[in-house]
Amino acid sequence: MFKIMIVEDDQEIREELKILLQNSGYEIKLITDFENVDKQILEQEPHLILLDINLPNKSGYEICSKIRAKSKIPIIFVTSRNNSMDELKGIMIGGDDYIEKPYNVPILLARVQNLLNRVYSKEQDVSKLEYKEITLDILKSQLIYKENKKELTKTELKTMYYLFKNADKIISRTEIIDYLWDNEIYADDNSLSVIITRLRERLKEIGVENLIETKRGMGYKI
Amino acid sequence: MNFGRYVKDKINYILSFIVYGLIIIFFLYAMEISKDIIIIVISISFIFAFTGFIISFYNKNKTFKNINNIIDKLDEKYLISEIINKPKREEKLAYYNILKKANKSMIENVTDIKNHQKEYKEYIESWVHEIKIPITSAKLLCENNKNDITNKIDEEVEEINNYVEQVLFYARLEQVSNDFMIKEINLQNVVKNVILRNKKIMIQNNMKVDIENINCICYSDEKWLEFILNQIIINSIKYKKLNNSTIWISVEQDKDNVKLKIRDNGLGIKKSELGRIFDKGFTGSNGRNHKRSTGIGLYLCKRLCTELGMKIFADSNEGEYTEIVILIPRVLSYKILR
């Protein structure tokens, strides 16, 4: 599990950010004492730092350059300063990314994930998912059942992936649409129906029937 | 200076000269001096007076032309008294001193106002900075406690956030400073960010976005462009029809420009109002009938575009569609009009 350090002086934001990131599966460390922040950070050895710029005692810029003198831990500046010059300064001083408050949650999570993947070159979490002898090959974008294979489009693959990930659970239509939007597929309710219909056809073609169940008024389930 | 009017101005001198001439003629005549001499005397005085009159007109005309030339070239015309030479003649000196006094007070005033404006802008910047902290908290609280109510609160908070951003960009526009940074940007990222910002409300309203090959590079300020695009998307959401709302985003490129098109199938804009939608404070019939509208969003878009060397146009058919086109220069070497 990745350990993320939050350096943020506003208590409310700090606590809520902690909950948010914990819910996304990260281990969180907080700084509450703003003396010798850089030392505290280096002792904890986090995988990533979310660093505010306006802090008591030393500014985020100073902390960043102190850390950079000793370590290459990825740093994301998180600040309400919305100014190109501030951003430039943050990057020049060794920050890896710069996110503005109020952050959009999907964007924040995506940037954190991207940076972690880039730095720690984590392999694709899984390249194949399996459920009831049906295999979803993500790299090849294929559905496999016994000897039968079927290619999927990007939209179909993403939808199928989300269903596989949440197998045995009922997922609401908005939940799927929400996930698709995060993956740059901006579908509405009708489009989702079309996607599901097509997925059922694909499944039929490889000999699987009734995998995707419709739960009236609730959503879908596999 | 117009000669005719100059003559009119000097009519008193001319009349008194004529009267004076007549008196002289009368005296000379009374003294029984020969006609020839009278004619010579009168002619000489007339020639002298006339040449004097012309020379003085010529000189004055030259002086004014000179000053006019200088003032035309000046950006800040109230600085004129700092630039013209100090005159030597008493009358001109009097005018010069008056002008100098007036200009001095003007310069003081202008500096005062500039300082005030700068302070005000700095206050706005820091205020925006401060208010974003509670906004961030509120949004995180909503995110961590998802339910129908917090979803609605989140929408309202997002609206507050948009108004706060408008204030920030408004303040930045009023102050000539280099708050923007032109660099290479990928339109795809900007569009993606804007859509994610409005994801919730668009999904709730069952809207669709159709994006066509926008993977293209152009030169602009990412934050400013994101703000502009956000205003346009917000409008598309505000003025959508009840069902099947779709936003199409596409790009056309030629050798000079990247043409970013944002089209919706919403309520559209009346032909009679189309020309004014970028005006400050204009809230057409859509704005008045449907939702709260301040008439600032599109005005800011237009101003920001101009500052960045971009162009923005709108096309619409009432009840059918609205299409906003942004022209972004493709090359880095364009002049920013400042």
CATH superfamily label, B180-338 = Histidine kinase-like ATPase, C-terminal domain (3.30.565.10)
Task: Find out whether A52 and A86 touch, Cβ atoms under 8 Å.
Answer: no
Residues of B in contact with A88 (CB under 8 A): 181
Which of A85, A106, A187 faces B196 most closely, judged by CB atoms? A106
Is the Cβ pair B143, A20 closer than 8 Å? yes
Distance from CA of B143 to the nearest CA of A (A): 8
Neighbours of A82 (CB within 10 A): 21
Rounded to the nearest 10 degrees, how much is the dihedral formed by the CA atoms of A19, A22, A28, A32?
0
Q: In the beta sheet, which residues pair with residue A149?
A: A144
Domain locations in chain A? 3-120, 128-221
A vs B, Cβ pairs < 8 A, gives 97
Helix (H, G, I), strand (E, B) or coil at A134: strand
- Work out the percent of chain B whose per-residue pLDDT is above 90: 25
The answer to whether residue B133 neighbours chain A at the CB level (below 8 Å) is: yes
Q: What are phi and psi of B288, to 5 degrees?
A: -75, -35
State whether residue B179 sits within 8 Å of chain A by CB. Answer: yes
Contacts of residue B187 in chain A, CB cutoff 8 Å? none
A104 touches chain B (CB under 8 A): yes
Domain ranges of chain B: 3-105, 180-338
3-state class percentages of chain A: helix first, strand second, coil last, to nearest 5: 40, 20, 35
User: Using CA atoms, how far apart are residues B83 and B102, in angstroms rounded to an integer?
Assistant: 14
Given pLDDT bands bounded at 50, 70 and 90, which one contains residue B19?
very high
Task: Give dist(CA B314, CA B268) in Å, integer.
Answer: 10
For residue A54, what is the enclosing H or E element? Answer: none
Whether A3-120 and A128-221 share one fold: the answer is no
Amino acid residing at B127 = W
Give the distance, in angstroms, between the CA of residue B48 and the centroid of all CA atoms in the same chain: 54
CB of A161 closer than 8 Å to CB of A136: yes
Amino acid B332: pLDDT: 60
The ipTM of this complex is: 0.78
Give yes or no for B336 touching A (CB within 8 A): no
| Signed CA dihedral, B253, B254, B258, B264: sign only | negative
The tens-digit pLDDT sequence of chain A (222 residues) is 889 999 998 888 899 999 999 988 888 988 888 888 888 888 888 899 999 988 888 888 888 888 888 888 899 998 887 777 788 888 888 888 888 888 888 888 888 888 888 888 655 556 777 788 888 888 878 888 888 888 888 888 888 888 888 888 888 888 889 888 888 888 888 888 898 888 888 888 888 777 888 888 788 888
pLDDT score, position B299 = 92
Chain A positions touching B179 (Cβ under 8 A) are 83-85
Comparing alpha-carbon positions, the chain A residue that sits nearest to B198 is A104
pTM, to two decimals = 0.76
- Whether CATH 3.30.70.260 fits A3-120: no
- The reported pLDDT for the residue numbered B229 is 94
Report pLDDT digits (tens) over B182-207. Answer: 888 889 889 988 998 888 888 888 88
∠ CA B271-B274-B276, rounded to 5°: 135
Given a cut of 90, whether residue B135 has pLDDT beyond it is yes
Gyration radius from chain B CA atoms: 34
> Best of B129, B140, B151, B222 to disrupt the A interface by mutation (most A CBs within 10 Å)?
B140
Residue pLDDT, tens place only, A119-167: 886 555 567 777 888 888 888 788 888 888 888 888 888 888 888 888 8
Minimal-distance CA residue of chain A relative to B222: A84
Strand A142-145's sheet: what is its strand order? A128-131, A134-137, A142-145, A148-151
- State how far the Cα of A140 lies from the Cα of B331, in Å rounded to an integer: 38
CATH no. for A128-221: 1.10.10.10
Alpha-helical (H) ranges within chain A are 11-23, 37-44, 60-68, 84-92, 105-120, 154-165, 173-182, 189-205
Interface subset of B 193-252, CB within 8 angstroms of A: 193, 195-197, 199, 202-203, 206-211, 221-223, 244, 246
